[in-house]
Each structure stands twice: as C-alpha cells, then as structure tokens.
Chains A and B, each alone.
Chain A
C-alpha cells in the first residue's frame, strides 16, 4: 500500500516536473482564458509572442511601458482594482517596488531551474532572467584599433574630449547605478581612483542625452566617436559601424526581471507565458534578435567576445540614494 503510494507520487512528480513541456492541465486552462496580457519595458519582443501563440494557441497582448511609467501604471491599476497586466517584465528595482506594494504574486516556475541560484527571489516572486548590460560602444570607422579603450579609465583620456555621448548622470537612473556600481565593485582598485575616473570623465565634457536610446545615433553618424551605451545595439542596428570595447573590468547592468501580477486577469495563461519566457527557446530569440544578455545557461547574444565577458548585476539602489548621487553627479558634471 505504502509502496503503491510512493510509486503513485513518483509518477505524479515525473508528470509534474516539466522537463520540456507543460502540464496538460495548465495549457488547457490557459487556452480557455484565450489570451494573456503582458506589460514589459523591453521592446522588439514580438517574435517571442508569436512563438508563444504558435506553440499554445494563446494570444499574448503586449503593452510597452517605459521604465518610469511602469510602477505608476501598475500601482494605479492595483489600487483601483483594474489590473490589466498579468505578466510583468521590468528592471528588478521596479519589480521590487511593486513587490513591496503587494502587486506581485508568488510563482515557483519549473523553468527557473536553468538559471543561477542568485537570480531567484527568496519570496518566489521575481525571477531575474537577464542583465541590461552597459559598455563602451565606439564607431569602428572613427576609432583606430589601438585607440579602443582597454579600461573604463581610458575614457578620461583628454583625446576623447567632446567625443563621448552618455545619458545624463544627473537624471538617468541606470547610468547613476552604473557609475556607483564601478565604485562598489572597486574596479579601479581604490575609491580615489574612482573619483579620478568620474572627474576625468566630466572633464571630457560628454554630450548628454536623456537615456540609452539616443546614444547609438550620434556614435554611428560620427557626431561623436564613442559613448557609454549598450552592446545590444551592435545587434539591433547592424550593419552600423559599432563595436564594444573589451575592457579589462567586468561589464555591469541593471538586472531584468519577470513576475506575475497579483490578481492577474488571466492567472493560468500568465503562468504558461512566464514558463515560456524563461525557456531556452524564448531566451534564444531575445539574445539573437534583440542582443540581450540573458542568464539562461549557455545562451549568448551574437556579439563577438561577449561569452568571454564577465557581466554582473548592479545592486538595487533606493530612490533616495539615487537622488543623492544624482545631485552629486550634477555638481561634478556641470
């Protein structure tokens, strides 16, 4: 009797443990819901949605929310009981704010097994799947191979004066985190060296733009030679003359996470989509089409040398902390 029970449990476990597919139950429920609405701050993810639909027959409706819109929108919907988004994808700091507000639901996805231990939230709510990695991007026509920076510190070289583009560090959160991250990871060996880096960068009078979006334009057009930007543009803007500087320090970026919304309108389809998003199939699309750095074991974007790079997540900073640094950088860079 006891044996039988054990065997039965084992069979159940085998059935439940999704090796490649999904429990028929979840798929059926998701199909009855017919659709799943997905709030994301990433773009160009339509191929994943199409693949999802092709595989399960469930339509994924995608709403793009910018990073700054994300929390206010979801919080307002949560407060007024008009939740529209079932699955939420955003930078981890944003998801943490939503988690604190009780807007997220816990989900222990079987698909999380292929991700590193640190990427899982202890409360089972946020799954980190990628890093919005930042690097020095340069124009291959304008920067001679021997001039390509070999360290972040090379950005302080006076020869780059007026030839650097970067998001305004008195506004742009990721850039603030990145600069502070370099200090906290102690990449220059000492805090004094880091200060020298920041001040040297400021002395080169970089051209400021609002976010990373406008950085590759001036680089590819030759208005500037290089900038603090993102390697993914090498993929999305190909064949633009862009490449990333293989610096000796690691690359840093804000972790990207995905979560389920509390009281999601389509709870089952949401789980199905969540699992699919973390699958190798979806992550390969992300890496290949959008140039994203993903944490799924063995998946890399098609950028030369990126699989050799060390890419580290930046610590989440509170808005209070960010604002203090923003004012500090405003002082240094003006």
Chain B
C-alpha cells in the first residue's frame, strides 16, 4: 500500500465515515436509549435498565444456554461446511454440481418456516419422522431441546459457513496438499497439518459469523426453544422487552452492550489469529491448478453421506413447506390430508396486489442492496487486510457493530435514526438498513479471499504504472471474484428474507415479502407462510443462478482474452 499513500489515507477516511455512519448511527441511538429514562431514544440518564437486566436471576442459565447453543451451532455448521466444500471442490465425489447448490438453497428458506418445518418433522408427539422412527422402535427425538435447536440452527447457518469456506477452497493451491502426500503424510495427517491450518482464516471467519449469527438468532429459539422452555439471550431479551404493551428497547440495548463487548473480543481474537496473514497466501502468481483428488472406495459412501445431508438440509424442509402450502390447515399427512389438497393458499398469495408489490420491492432491495453491499464490503475488507493500521482495525470493528445488537432491536435503532430524516418510510431507508446490518456477511468471505492473494500481484501492477484504483479494478477485483460472488450471494439471499429491519421500517409502498410472511405467521395462516416461503426460495434461486451464470461467463471471457 506504499503506492499513493495520500490517496490511501483519504480512501480509508471516506470508508470510515461511510461505514461508521451506517453502523454507529443506530448503535449510538441504542446505547443512548439504554441509559435513558422512558421509552424513546433520548431521556434523562438512568442506570435502572442495566440494573433490571443484569439482576435477573435467570441470566446465568441464559448465558450458559446461549454459549452452548451458539458454539454448538458454530461447530456443527463449520465442520459440515469444511467437509462439504472439500468434497465438492477437490474430490471426484458423485453429483457435485447439484450438491454445490443445496446449501445455498437451504439458506433461502425463511427461518421461521424452516424451524416450523422441523417442528412438524421431529416434535415428540406426532412428528412425521418420529412416527417413522417409532415403527422401528426408535425415538422419539425431541426437537424442542438444546441439541435439537443446535441441529436446526447449525443446518441453517451451514450455508453461511459454506460460502465463506468455498471461496477459500476454490483458490487453494493443490500443490500444497500434494507436497504433504509426497512427504509421506497420510490423507488424515494432511488434513490436520496442511489443509485446516491453511484454511484457518476462512474457518475462523466462518466460526465468527455463525457465532454472532446464532447469538442474535430469534426464529429457532422462539419456535423450538420456547416449547422446550430453553431460554437463550434473544428469547430472554424478547421477554424483557415484550412484557407489557410498550416494549422497552432500552433494556434490550443494555443487554446488547455486553454482546457488543463479546463481539469486540471475538474480532480482536480473529485479528490476532490471522495476524501473520502472509502465511495464508495461496494465490501466489506462479499459477495454480486446483486438482481433483480421487476418493477411491470412499467415493460412493461419501457421496451418499453428502446426499443424505442435502436431503436433511433442503429436500425434507422444502417438501414439508410444499405440503403445508397445499393443505388447508396444519395437519399430519394422511390419506385424508391428500384428499383435501388445495391451491387456495397459492391463489390467495399470488392474487394479492400487496404481495405482488412486496415481491417487486424485495427483488429491488435484494439486487440493489447486495450490489451496494458487496462494493462496500470489497473496499472495506481490502483495506482491513492490506492496511494493517489502527484506523483499519477501527474499520473492521465498526463492521461488527450493528451485528452485535440483536435483530429485535437494531431495526428500532434505525427507526429512531431515520425518523429524524426524510428517508423515513422510503425504500431507501430499508436499503441503507440492510446494507448496514448485513455488512459483515459481505466482508467476512472477502477478507479471507484477500488474505489469500499474494501482495506481489498488486506490487507488479504498481510497478507497471497502474495507480491504486486501476490496480484494484484490473487485478484485485477479478482475482477476488469467487469471494465477491460468495458475498453477493450471501447478501442477496439474506435480503430476500430479511425481517428484523423490514418489519420496523416497511411502510405502505415499501412493503417487502418477509413482512407479508410475518403477518401470515401472526394470523396462524401457515399455508400462506409456506407458499410465501417457497416464493422467496424461488426468487433467490433464480437470482443466484443468473448471477452465477454471468460470473462464469465473465471469468471465461477474461481467460479467452
């Protein structure tokens, strides 16, 4: 980054202002709110909210549950993601193409619908899978339990981890792996000594993301945790603010402040563990050809394992959704149920002009937000990786800020903020809110990508007479394309089903699909929920497929000259 030092400084300053504005604004509103008397953002100073929150007798149990829940989910999601990414990218496992798409699809299913599907499958009374298990004298498995919650949350967060790790795996120089085999190491040892350590930035990025995600997740704790009476931080906060008719978001913010503290520790830990980033450089400029290793006798067993995972991840929940959307009310599958199949939910959903407007808005927001978000993420993570100064550390910490507040309250922070501007009630407010809250999802995969690109490639560009922006456009961005695509997909899919920000900021004219879905949930119209959920899956799939097609054409064009 020596070249154009002054330009770089300005660049970081601009980024700090943009990212800071996006994340500090609502967060500050919330922090002020947590010290304010009354219900609004600003009031007389008080510590009463902190006293009330931190004196709760259940807090220790809640913290313990949250730690088990979030670490369990992070471990499950990341482990599965590493295995899946490796099998799909580096081996001759059967049906690779399909398998690559599966994790992405599961991410598109709205969490409430996903959780409810699993409740239908594995509730201890008459869960469909439990009924089957009982035929074999097994079970029942109780999904309303901490392991059950970890299982579902882990599956839900697997795509996030998968996309982060795939970006790294795709640009992994296979000679590093081959060198280990040649040195007489077994495959297992190679995994342990070579692959995992080299993927460390990506793995840590995945774990960090899933940890923070699951700490702030509300859907699964509410759908599966409440019936099982397992309270985690988000449901604890929900209880704190929702008793009564006026939620006291200040209290939630008071809890959020310590989550923020935990997140800052995580960020520093992450930076410390990846401090010697040159150790993780795998795209060096000497050219690499990812090779496919043969699994031999393990090919089919592993293929079946991955297929099974795909079924668990996507096929079962989607089938349940499809079924739910076609029955008039929630019922166990039976001959009677199939006799009553109806298109009513679908015609009602598709015949509703409001839903159609929401559909349009959701697509605009997803495309616009993901594109804007990925541009900002690319610039930010580049600076975070390449410029290891104090201001870049501040920048990285900033990107985690809005993330650290539970989704239940961050939207309120935005409302308090936007209500003071002309953006209030517009689609722009939603767009800005989306980008700000989900920035870390764009930044994580890109950070691990940038760490892998040798700095020589950029230096060579500077020596060739290219300035900072030209280097960025012609060398850095194209090499980071896998990461960019991962991040974009991640953002797009999240935006299609975004609820936390939308539910607070959507107004007539700026309705989005997820808010329509949430209304159907409130009305117990699960058939409509399922239909809307499937529509969201369809939109995301289409958009992602188009983007992937464009990207692969783009990279082919680049190669052809």
Contacts and interface: CB of A to CB of B under 8 A. Distances in A.
Direct contact of A and B (CB under 8 A): yes
Contacts of A44: 523
B500 to A, nearest CB: 12
B125 A224 contact: yes
Contact of A62 (B40, B246, B508): B508
B194 to A, nearest CB: 47
Residues of B contacting A: mostly: loop
A20 interface: no
Given A66-B522, A76-B416, A240-B329, A84 B425 contact: yes
B331 A173 contact: no
A9 B123 CA distance: 70
B314 interface: no
Contacts of A221: 120, 126, 330-332
Contacts of A224: 125
A133 interface: no
A64 interface: yes
Interface stretch (B90-98, B236-244, B436-444): B236-244
B241 A68 contact: yes
B504 A69 contact: yes
A322 B243 contact: yes
B519 A217 contact: no
Interface string A57-80: 000011110111111110111011
B523 A323 contact: no
Contact of B524 (A84, A207, A208, A215): A215
B118 to A, nearest CB: 13
Nearest to A177: B245
A239 B119 CA distance: 22
B337 to A, nearest CB: 10
A279 to B, nearest CB: 23
Nearest to B354: A46
A93 interface: yes
Nearest to A215: B524
Interface stretch (B70-78, B222-230, B371-379): B222-230
A64 B519 CA distance: 8
A231 interface: no
Contacts of A84: 424-425, 507
Contact of A217 (B247, B249, B524): B524
Interface in A152-178: 162, 168, 170-173, 176
Interface size class of A (residues with CB under 8 A): 35 or more
B555 to A, nearest CB: 44
A127 interface: no
Given A213-B522, A239-B329, A64 B515 contact: yes
A37 interface: yes
A215 to B, nearest CB: 7
A323 B243 contact: yes
B330 A171 contact: no
A249 B120 CA distance: 34
A210 B226 contact: yes
A248 B534 CA distance: 44
A94 interface: yes
Given A64-B515, A68-B247, A71-B39, A213 B521 contact: yes
22 contacts: A46-B352, A63-B506, A64-B515, A68-B242, A72-B39, A72-B247, A72-B412, A76-B41, A77-B419, A82-B419, A213-B523, A214-B223, A214-B521, A214-B524, A216-B329, A221-B331, A221-B332, A224-B125, A233-B524, A238-B328, A239-B329, A240-B330
Given A212-B524, A240-B329, 19 more contacts: A37-B508, A43-B523, A46-B352, A61-B509, A67-B245, A68-B241, A71-B246, A72-B246, A77-B424, A208-B229, A210-B222, A221-B120, A236-B523, A237-B524, A239-B328, A239-B329, A240-B330, A319-B244, A323-B244
Interface of B: 39-41, 116, 119-120, 123, 125-126, 144, 222-223, 226-227, 229, 238-239, 241-247, 249, 328-332, 340, 352, 354, 412, 415-416, 419-420, 424-425, 503-504, 506-509, 515, 519, 521-526
